[in-house]
Structure 1
Amino acid sequence: MRTDFRATLCVAVLVLGTSACDAFDRLLSVESPSRLSENNFLQPSNAALISASAVADFECALGGYIVAAGLAAGELADGSQTAARWSYDRRDVDANQDLYSSGSCVGIGVYTPLNVARHTNDQAVRLLSEWTDAQVPNRQLMIARNAAMAGYAILLLGESFCECVINVGPALTQAAAFDSAEARFTVALAAAQAANNAALINLAYAGRARARLNGGDGPGAAADAANVPQSFVYNATADANAAVRNNRIFAQNNQGRAVTIAPAYRGLQVQGAPDPRVAVSAGTPTLMPDQVNTFFVQAKYTSLTAPTPIATGIEMALIRAEVAGPGTGVGILNTLRARPGVALPPLDAAEQANYSATLASERSRELFLQGTRWWDMNRLNLAQVPAAGTAYPKGSQYGNQRCWPLPNVERLANPNF
């Protein structure tokens, strides 16, 4: 799938600042033709803008995905009056629906924004690989960053859709999507090492660890995860100047009152103590716009400008704990609980005895509203809340979806189907 690169440039201008605005103005001042040719734009002199705009594509896609997947996974509940959104919440998305298939990242669409981010980041890597260091300063650093963003875009497609497509190709299984993501993270790792950039090295290891875990390679996942320090965080950036750059979770929950925090994530405790990892409070006014749901707000993201984690050392520790099992994993989880700012008691006997359920619970709390729970519900076969068949308060009933279907707009436009 493709995107209008001029719209992408507008996002990049916000990311790069005044100098990029000047460059963008010069690009648009070309007298003829009235629309700037893509071939004229895709030049080494524009490498920084091409790279940054592709990253911005993924950052916006990630925010929309976290909200949509949060609804599907039971982290969030929809409080809007917009019926097109309810199918996320109800777990009955139909392949003909427009919102999830072709909606924008601002409007919590998922399939098109993730595919756009995959395309633009793959394109950036291809171009940067063709150009030289003499033509493009910091070329390896850009390759590393864009390859990682492409990897994460495909990773999220694999985690959320029952099957996906790349470049109008054949349908890919989830396992094939994870393989494709892993290949991009390997490219990112080599480029990050060549650039000697520690943050991008950790990002590449973290992405590959997640892809390997998803693909069933536990030892490989743990080996990659072990390279990432617990303190590591790589964020998607945000600002308040344009909707595509807003923190989508804050915009949809705290500011827009379109979603509320689902009951399962309200008032969470650990052995009687409040859990600071899932800070949730009652909002004002009490009722949501749908006049059905109660308004609760999250405190993880405190403004439209709050960054959103793409990868963290916390997630890597959880991967190591999962692969290691209870023998070593209990100690890893206890270390996470004991860290400053959390300071929770270690696992008690009951938590240790039911280690698999405890690990799933710790993941749901540590990675709250980071876009991981929807896939965890699938791969760990976790109980859906509310259960399938329960009456949905705004009509119909909850379904049993654990992944979204490949949209029919893809099938109808793809000669492979």
Structure 2
Amino acid sequence: MKNLRRAAKRTAIGSALLLGAAGCSDKFITVTNPDVIDASTVDFNSRAAELAATTQQNYAVALGWLSIYGGWFSEEANVSDTFPTRNEFGLRNITDQNTSLNTEVWTLISRVVQAGKAVADLDLPNPTTNINLARASTFRAFGMLQIATDFCQGSFSSSAPLTTAQVLDSAIFWFSKGYDVGKANNTADGIALSNAALVGRARAKLQKGDNAGAAADAALVPADFVFNMRYTDDAGNRGRLSNIQWQMSFDRGAISVAPWYRQDDPRVTYRVPGQTTANPQDPVPGGFYQQTKFPSYAAPVRLASKLEANYIAAEASGDVQAQLALIAARRSANGRPAYSGPTDAASVKTELYNQRALEFYLEGRRVADMRRSPSSVTTITPAGQPYFKPGYGNVGTNTCYPLPRPETDNNPNFPK
């Protein structure tokens, strides 16, 4: 009883102090939420550089994840992961309720497009030469292109459903903006962005079937041009700043090099079972083959290059001799024997796609190849055949990803 009386006394004194303080000032009980910013107090035009850099970094994050999911989907990699949602990509049987589809694929790439829009909507000085507009436009376009190549349909800013052709048209528009503004900016950074946009526009035109336009853009890309996405080994922020392909290969062991890619080719390097530095998150038949193309958290990922422009030009030309010349050059450069297969147009195009597959392994290109010319991609398990892991059933018929249910349910412009 004595302890209860003491507690009651302390409570009464504390209440009196609070009431007294409140009577003369509310400062004592006022709490400021540091995460709430009054938009009216922020001059977004003065923060254009940060917003443009955010667009670029958002794409760096999304590219890593989409390269992994696209790698599983197109069988660049086997899914050595237990997540059912990730195995749906390997199975090519993805439901719109797949949580990984929403959080690790759609949300990340749509965030790129929206961030780029935030910069485009600003009242920027010197808009025809502004480096921030060049950067935001270029990476907004790359985000749109990835949606066009990987998803069955698209949507920007809660728009109505967009067809693949409409998304490609939007990407081409923003690549043109990035190219024009970057070139007019005429700094090293601006020129690099303009050339990256040029490669992106060529890729988008090829995907759309505008072969003449794709070839024309590819021809303008300077010799030896390469634009890499940069990553850093930041232990405190690896999800945002580090190379996720390395993390999913060496921390989680979720990416195993698929059988067709286990060649004696320097473009796809790996460690064989028994020599890996991590165990697979889910043991896979035949053992875990650990990719080493991306050998660290800081390993860059190639975004655009003259090499890709050369592949685009060769494919767009439809010229078998031009394609054979590029095939011969790339096989020789990588120490491979000369191509000795059939030389009819379909066979040569398949070999061109095989060389592309090795060149751009886990760089987010293969799903586009599958959709652009399915008959030229012969390195995947046909629909209806057993999945490489027992107990999962047969491979499905998906050729692209559905939009996730949260997007279609919450977007007021989607039919219900």
TM-score of the aligned structures, taking structure 2 as reference length: 0.83
- 1-side partners of 2:229 and 2:42: how far apart? 25
- 2-side partners of 1:221 and 1:50: how far apart? 30
36-45 vs 318-327, greater mean Cα deviation: 36-45
- 1-side partners of 2:372 and 2:342: how far apart? 24
- 1-side partners of 2:33 and 2:279: how far apart? 54
Checking the alignment, whether the CA contact within 8 Å between 1:321 and 1:333 is kept in structure 2 is no
User: What is the CA distance between 1:263 and its match in structure 2?
Assistant: 1.3
User: What is the CA distance between 1:328 and its match in structure 2?
Assistant: 2.2
Q: Deviations over 1:335-385 (max 9, x none)?
A: 33444xx24444336367721111111111111111010121122113462
Q: Could you list the runs of 5+ residues in structure 2 that have no partner in the other structure?
A: 1-31
Residues 35 and 224 (structure 1 numbering): CA distance in 2 closer, same or farther, change over 3 Å?
same
Tell me what 2:290 maps to: 297
Asked if residue 389 in structure 1 is aligned to residue 389 in structure 2, the reply is no
Q: Could you list the runs of 5+ residues in structure 1 that have no partner in the other structure?
A: 1-30, 104-108, 269-273
Tell me what 1:54 maps to: 55
Spell out the pairing of 1:220-259 with structure 2 (5 A cutoff). 220-241=213-234, 242=237, 243-259=239-255
Tell me what 2:342 maps to: 350
Tell me what 1:115 maps to: 110
Tell me what 1:188 maps to: 178
User: What is the CA distance between 1:142 and its match in structure 2?
Assistant: 1.7
- 1-side partners of 2:184 and 2:168: how far apart? 24
- 1-side partners of 2:303 and 2:145: how far apart? 12
Q: Deviations over 1:44-101 (max 9, x none)?
A: 3322211111211111011010000100000011112222211011111101222102
Residues 70 and 404 (structure 1 numbering): CA distance in 2 closer, same or farther, change over 3 Å?
same
- 1-side partners of 2:193 and 2:335: how far apart? 29
Tell me what 2:155 maps to: 165
Q: Deviations over 1:154-205 (max 9, x none)?
A: 0000101111111111111111111010000010011011111321221111
Kindly provide the amino acid, as one letter, of the partner of residue 403 in structure 1.
C
- 1-side partners of 2:260 and 2:43: how far apart? 48
Tell me what 1:23 maps to: none
- 1-side partners of 2:72 and 2:35: how far apart? 42
SS at match of 2:228: strand
Kindly provide the amino acid, as one letter, of the partner of residue 178 in structure 2.
A
Checking the alignment, whether the CA contact within 8 Å between 1:78 and 1:258 is kept in structure 2 is yes
State the identity %: 27
User: What is the CA distance between 1:304 and its match in structure 2?
Assistant: 0.5
Checking the alignment, whether the CA contact within 8 Å between 1:206 and 1:225 is kept in structure 2 is yes
Larger Cα-atom Rg:
2
Checking the alignment, whether the CA contact within 8 Å between 1:389 and 1:398 is kept in structure 2 is yes
- 2-side partners of 1:32 and 1:408: how far apart? 32
User: What is the CA distance between 1:303 and its match in structure 2?
Assistant: 0.4
Tell me what 1:332 maps to: 326
TM-score of the aligned structures, taking structure 1 as reference length: 0.83
- 1-side partners of 2:392 and 2:137: how far apart? 43
SS at match of 1:147: helix
- 2-side partners of 1:32 and 1:406: how far apart? 35
Asked if residue 93 in structure 1 is aligned to residue 94 in structure 2, the reply is yes
SS at match of 1:311: strand
Residues 42 and 304 (structure 1 numbering): CA distance in 2 closer, same or farther, change over 3 Å?
farther
Checking the alignment, whether the CA contact within 8 Å between 1:140 and 1:191 is kept in structure 2 is yes
- 1-side partners of 2:337 and 2:378: how far apart? 26
Spell out the pairing of 1:282-321 with structure 2 (5 A cutoff). 282=272, 283-284=275-276, 288-293=280-285, 294-321=287-314
Q: Deviations over 1:270-317 (max 9, x none)?
A: xxxx32112222143786232334211222211010111111111110
Kindly provide the amino acid, as one letter, of the partner of residue 246 in structure 1.
S
- 1-side partners of 2:241 and 2:125: how far apart? 31
Residues 56 and 42 (structure 1 numbering): CA distance in 2 closer, same or farther, change over 3 Å?
farther
Kindly provide the amino acid, as one letter, of the partner of residue 334 in structure 1.
A
